[in-house]
Amino acid sequence: MSTNPMHQFEVYRIGPEISLGSVNLSFTNASLFMLISAATILLLLFLGTKKKLLVPTKIQLITEMSYSFVAKMINDTAGSKAKPFFPFIFTLFMFVLFCNMIGMLPYSFTVTSHIIVTFILAAIVFIGVTIIGFIQHGIKYLELFVPKGVPVLLLPLIVVIEIISYLSRPVSLSVRLFANMMAGHTMLKVFGGFVISLGLLGGWLPLGFSVALTGLEILVAFLQAYVFAILTCIYLNDALNLNH
C-alpha cells in the first residue's frame, strides 16, 4: 500500500498509446474522470428535464436549483447583458463542480488538482473575455488600462501596473482552484496515513480529523467552483460594461 500522499495525483495511461506526431494523445485516468464528470452532468440534466412535473421530483429539483443559482449569479454580477453567456458559465460551473465532487469519492482522481487543467479553463475564459471586450468596444477596450484622473507623469507606470494586473487574472484563477484542491487532497491522504501508522491505539484522533476534513473539503469543492464561475462573471462584466 502506498503511503506517499502525492501518489494520488499520478497520471497514467489507460489502453494503447496514441501519438500524433510528437504529441502524446493517449487516454489517461485524467481523461477518464473528465469524461465521467461530463457524463454525470449530462445524465443529471437529462433525467431532470425528462418529465416536467408541477411538483418536481428530487432530480428535477436539483436541476432547476442549479439553473436558477447560476442564472441569479450572472444577473447579480454581470447584469442582463451577460444573459447570452449563460450556457458557457453554466457549463463551466457544472464541470468544475462535478470534477471537484467526483474527486472526493474514494479511489477516484481529482482532475482539477492538476494546474494544466485549471490553467486551460482559465485561459479559455481570459482569451474569450478579451475577444468579447474588443468586439463590444473596439480599440476603446484598451481604455481599461488607462484609469481616469491620473497625472500624465505617472501614466506610463500605471499602465504597466494595469497590464500586469490584467495578465494576472488567469494565473490567480487557475492557481486558486488547483492549490485548494491539491492541498486538501494531500492533507486528507496525510491524515489517512497517520491512522494506518498509529494503529488501533492512537489512530482515532487522526481519523476524527479525517472525517472533519472530508466535510471541509466538500465545502471547498463547492466553493471553488462557485468562485471560479463568479470571477468569470466579474471579468465578463468588465468586458461588457467598460467601467472601473
Partner 1 sequence: MKNFKEISARLEIAKKKIEKNITKDKSSNAASLGKALKIGTELVASVVVGTLLGFILDGWFDTRPWLTISFFFMGVGAGILNVIRSAKNMNKKKDMENN
CA–CA distance, 200 with 208 (Å, rounded to integer): 13
114 binds partner 1 (CB under 8 A): no
Kindly state the cell numbers that stand for 181.
484542491
Q: Computed over its alpha carbons, how large is the radius of gyration of the chain?
A: 22
For residue 211, state whether it binds partner 1 (rule: CB under 8 A). Answer: no
x/- map, 156-195, partner 1, by CB under 8 A: -x--xxx-xx-xxx-xx--xx--xx---------------
State which of residues 11, 183, 219, 241 lies at the interface with partner 1 (CB under 8 A).
219
166, 144 contact by CB (below 8 A): yes
Please state, in angstroms and rounded to a whole number, the distance separating the CA atoms of residues 62 and 9.
Answer: 30
Sign of CA dihedral 105, 109, 114, 116: negative
Residue 242 within binding range of partner 1, rule CB under 8 A: no
- Residue 171: all three cell numbers together: 494565473
Q: 112 vs 180, which CB is nearer to partner 1?
A: 180
Distance CA 26, CA 205 (A): 42
For position 59 contacting partner 1 by CB under 8 A, the verdict is no
When the beta carbons of 34 and 89 are compared against partner 1, the nearer one is 89
List residues binding partner 1 (CB under 8 A): 54-55, 157, 160-162, 164-165, 167-169, 171-172, 175-176, 179-180, 219, 222-224, 226-227, 230-231, 234, 244
